[in-house]
Structure 1
Amino acid sequence: MNSRTAFIAAPLLVLAYGVIRILDGLDGSRGPGIAWTTGHLAFMAALVLFVPIFWQMRRMAGGNALATASAAAGTAGVVALLAQFGIDIVVGFMSADNEAMGVLFDRVQSVPGVSTVVYDVVPLLFFAGQLALVVQLAALRRVRVWTPVLVLVDLVLPFIDKDLIPLGALCLLVSFVPLARQVPATSRPAAALA
Structure 2
Amino acid sequence: MTTPRTAFVAAPVLMGAYGVIRMLDGLDGSRGPGFAWSLGHLCFLAALVLFVQGFAAMRTMTGGGRLSTVGLWTGTAGAVALAGQFAIDLVVGFMSADRGAMEEMFTRIQDIPGMLPVFYELVPLLFFVGQLILVAQLAARRVLKPWAPVLVLVSALVPLIGKDFIPLGAALLLVAFAPLRPVRETAAAASKVPVA
Query: Scaled by the length of structure 1, what TM-score is found?
Result: 0.92
In 1, Cα distance between equivalents of 2:120 and 2:9: 27
Q: Corresponding residue for 1:167?
A: 168
**Do the aligned residues in 1 keep the contact of 2:60 with 2:183 (CA within 8 Å)?**
no
In 2, Cα distance between equivalents of 1:51 and 1:145: 22
1:1-194 matched pairs, under 5 angstroms: 1-179=2-180, 181=181, 183-184=183-184
1:186, distance to aligned residue in structure 2 (A)? 10
SS state of the match for residue 130, structure 1? helix
Aligned-pair identity (%): 62
State how many pairs are aligned: 186
Q: Corresponding residue for 2:192?
A: none
Backbone CA RMSD of aligned residues = 1.5
In 2, Cα distance between equivalents of 1:90 and 1:182: 35
SS state of the match for residue 112, structure 1? coil
SS state of the match for residue 79, structure 2? helix
1:109, distance to aligned residue in structure 2 (A)? 0.8
In 2, Cα distance between equivalents of 1:125 and 1:153: 15
How far does the alpha carbon of each residue in 1:110-149 deviate from its partner, in whole angstroms, 9 at most, with x for none? 1111111111111110010001111111122221111111
Q: Which of 1 and 2 has greater Rg?
A: 2
1:89, distance to aligned residue in structure 2 (A)? 0.4
Runs (4+) of structure 1 exceeding 4 A deviation are none
1:185, distance to aligned residue in structure 2 (A)? 5.3
SS state of the match for residue 40, structure 2? helix
SS state of the match for residue 122, structure 1? coil
1:15, distance to aligned residue in structure 2 (A)? 1.0
1:98, distance to aligned residue in structure 2 (A)? 1.1
Structure 2, unaligned stretches of length 5 or more?
188-196
**Do the aligned residues in 2 keep the contact of 1:71 with 1:129 (CA within 8 Å)?**
yes
How far does the alpha carbon of each residue in 1:80-107 deviate from its partner, in whole angstroms, 9 at most, with x for none? 1111000000001111111111110111
Amino acid at match of 2:161: I
In 2, Cα distance between equivalents of 1:125 and 1:34: 29
How far does the alpha carbon of each residue in 1:26-77 deviate from its partner, in whole angstroms, 9 at most, with x for none? 0001111100000000000000101110011111112111100110000011
Structure 1, unaligned stretches of length 5 or more?
188-194
**Which deviates the most, 149-158 or 83-92?**
149-158
Query: Scaled by the length of structure 2, what TM-score is found?
Result: 0.91
In 1, Cα distance between equivalents of 2:185 and 2:99: 44
SS state of the match for residue 178, structure 1? coil
**Do the aligned residues in 2 keep the contact of 1:3 with 1:53 (CA within 8 Å)?**
yes
Amino acid at match of 2:183: V
Amino acid at match of 2:16: L
**Do the aligned residues in 1 keep the contact of 2:145 with 2:176 (CA within 8 Å)?**
no
In 1, Cα distance between equivalents of 2:16 and 2:114: 30
**Do the aligned residues in 2 keep the contact of 1:7 with 1:53 (CA within 8 Å)?**
yes
In 1, Cα distance between equivalents of 2:54 and 2:24: 28
SS state of the match for residue 178, structure 2? helix
